[in-house]
Amino acid sequence: MVRQIFIGPIIHTDENGELIIKESVAIFIEDDKIIDVMENPTTNKEKVIFNIDDFYADKVINLSYGQFIIPGFIDCHTHAVQFPNLGLGYDKCLLEWLETYTFPLEKKYTETKFADQVFDAVVKRTIEAGTTTACYFASLYAEASMILAEKVAELGQRAFIGKINMNIPRNDEYYESTEKSIKDTIAFVESVERIGNPLVRPIITPRFALNCNMELMQELAKIAKAKDLHIQTHISENEAEIRAVKQTFKEQSSYTAVYETAGLLTNKTILAHGIHLEDNELAILEKQGTAIIHCPSSNMYLRSGLCDVRRLKAKNIKLGLGTDVAGGSSYSMQDEMRSVLHVSTCLSLMKHDYVPLNYKEVFHMATLGGAKALSIDDKVGNLVSGKEFDALIIDLNAKNSRLDNFREYTLEENFQRFIHSGDDRNIVSVYVRGRKVK
Ligand code: GUN
Ligand code: FE
């Protein structure tokens, strides 16, 4: 058993999304779990004096001036295979973008060496940027998808890994038969489970309604149900996409109804984008406990639209945040939080009674909100006793920090500066399940 104590300030959010700032706490960790969080511990040089009797610790980490602890970031939607296209191809909207830039890149992942190189960088870089949990769209190919799962297990990130399903025939052969799609998905799920790492979970991943027919989506829903798995897909991202879905599934009343009929909407389902959903669709999502993952950077670059997060919140929809690389231009959740703020500010400029989101709300979305969207908030999302220790040490005096300390700042000011103007150089340590991974 390994016991660690972290002593210093913590900042996280509670169930209601309220920001909690504590200037001085001691967090007691036993292996992977937080066993106690004590306020205002008394310290005496090297020796720490606690009220509880003789807590033996293998490691005591005393935070220095300018440092504080926050929960790790949860990126609820990103495409590992698309990292080589990061920052490219924003001259096209979704459907043309997929055809021109994205599918041609994704077809390359039959080369396992290429897959290994890319995924090594993806997992290392996202950990560096403070992403302790990532929800990945991996590859159409089960073999490449397994390379990502093994990489995540090796490097110690918490992740959901989805082998993508697409069975609608295409001229470029970038699809698979229904039979192969189902067979490979079952084999992939079993292979991920065989890794035996509780941090690495398979997730059922029909790409979106334009790449899968109803039969495949229904079969995938059955697999998810039988094995109690999470499900991820895209919904209502782009107006041309929505028209095409309605055209393809004429008997369904809406995009959401397509997924509902397929049985894909559960309280473990996450849907990326959800920009143009109508009230009756939101009512279905609320009833099913299905989450929407806001991807503002991607929504801007692909000119998909301005998602009104306040409206989704008011309709009681669970909300996570996703970088959606390479639709989004950055894998950093700090950048994504700023994109949320920018989009929300645009909405407030267009509608004068609209109150834009603030740094506290976007921080909640990037941490406990994401954990709730993924239904893993019993394990992660904030730093309370009983949860697993997924956390970041932030340092406003970090080497090479872009932020200068021209005066004394309060803890809350330093937190604001980190959210609005910091970068991954201010994330000096990253812990997943108590293990230091940066
Ligand atoms: N819809 C279907 N596939 C994709 C994808 O790869 N990226 C985005 N942003 N939307 C999609
Ligand atoms: Fe996406």
What is the per-residue pLDDT across 294-310, written as a single tens digit (0 to 9) for each? 999 999 999 999 999 99
Identify the sign of the CA torsion 331, 333, 334, 339.
Answer: positive
Is 375:133 a contact under the CB 8 Å cutoff?
no
Distance (Å) from CA 291 to ligand 1 centroid: 17
Distance (Å) from CA 426 to ligand 1 centroid: 31
pLDDT value, residue 44: 53
**19-30/33-39 β-pairing:** antiparallel
CA distance 149 to 245: 31
Measured from the Cα of 298, ligand 1's closest atom is 9
Q: Which helix (H) or strand (E) holds 226?
A: helix 214-227
Distance (Å) from CA 320 to ligand 2 centroid: 13
pLDDT value, residue 54: 59
One-letter amino acid at 18 equals E
DSSP 86: T
Closest CA to 326 of 306, 305, 297, 347: 297
Tokens at residue 342, please?
């920018």
Measured from the Cα of 82, ligand 1's closest atom is 6
Q: Phi, psi at residue 253, to the nearest 5°?
A: -80, -20
pLDDT value, residue 57: 86
Ligand number nearest to the C-alpha of 98: 1
Distance (Å) from CA 413 to ligand 1 centroid: 37
Q: What is the mean pLDDT of the chain?
A: 96
Distance (Å) from CA 301 to ligand 1 centroid: 13
CB under 6 Å to ligand 1: residues? Answer: 79, 94, 98, 102, 207-208, 234, 237, 298, 324, 327
Q: Which helix (H) or strand (E) holds 280?
A: helix 279-288
Distance (Å) from CA 415 to ligand 1 centroid: 33
- Where do the structural domains in the chain lie, given as residue ranges? 3-71+382-436, 73-373
Ligand number nearest to the C-alpha of 322: 2
- Residue with the smallest CA separation from ligand 1 atom 1 is 234
Distance (Å) from CA 246 to ligand 1 centroid: 17
Substitution site in 82, 136, 139, 207 for ligand 1 pocket (most atoms within 8 Å of beta carbon): 207
One-letter amino acid at 153 equals A
Domains 3-71+382-436 and 73-373 share a fold: no
Substitution site in 237, 270, 276, 339 for ligand 1 pocket (most atoms within 8 Å of beta carbon): 237
Ligand number nearest to the C-alpha of 81: 1
- Residue with the smallest CA separation from ligand 1 atom 9 is 327
Q: Look up the pTM and report it.
A: 0.97
pLDDT value, residue 1: 86
Measured CA distances, 268 to 74, 288, 379 (Å):
15, 9, 15
389-429 per-position pLDDT tens digit: 999 999 999 999 999 999 999 999 999 999 999 999 999 99
pLDDT value, residue 52: 46
Measured from the Cα of 302, ligand 1's closest atom is 9
Measured from the Cα of 237, ligand 1's closest atom is 10
Identify any residues that bridge with 6 across adjacent strands, giving them in sequence order. Answer: 27, 61
Instruction: List own/partner pairs for 14-17 with CB under 8 A and 24 or more apart.
Output: 14/368, 14/382, 15/368, 17/360, 17/361, 17/364, 17/368, 17/369
Fold of 3-71+382-436: Urease, subunit C; domain 1 (2.30.40)
CA distance 304 to 241: 10
Measured from the Cα of 241, ligand 1's closest atom is 1
Q: Which residue has the tokens 């996280």?
A: 12
CA distance 24 to 229: 39
Closest CA to 40 of 51, 29, 30: 51
> Regarding the domain with residue range 73-373, which homologous superfamily does it belong to in the CATH classification?
Metal-dependent hydrolases (3.20.20.140)
Q: Which helix (H) or strand (E) holds 175?
A: none
CA distance 178 to 176: 7
Which portions of the chain are predicted below pLDDT 50? 45, 52-53
pLDDT value, residue 40: 85
Peptide bond into 221 cis (omega under 30): no
Q: Which helix (H) or strand (E) holds 59?
A: strand 59-62
pLDDT value, residue 285: 98
Distance (Å) from CA 78 to ligand 2 centroid: 6
Substitution site in 79, 93, 234 for ligand 1 pocket (most atoms within 8 Å of beta carbon): 234
Peptide bond into 326 cis (omega under 30): yes
Residue 150 CA from chain centroid, whole number: 19
96-118 per-position pLDDT tens digit: 999 999 999 999 999 999 999 99
Distance (Å) from CA 428 to ligand 2 centroid: 29
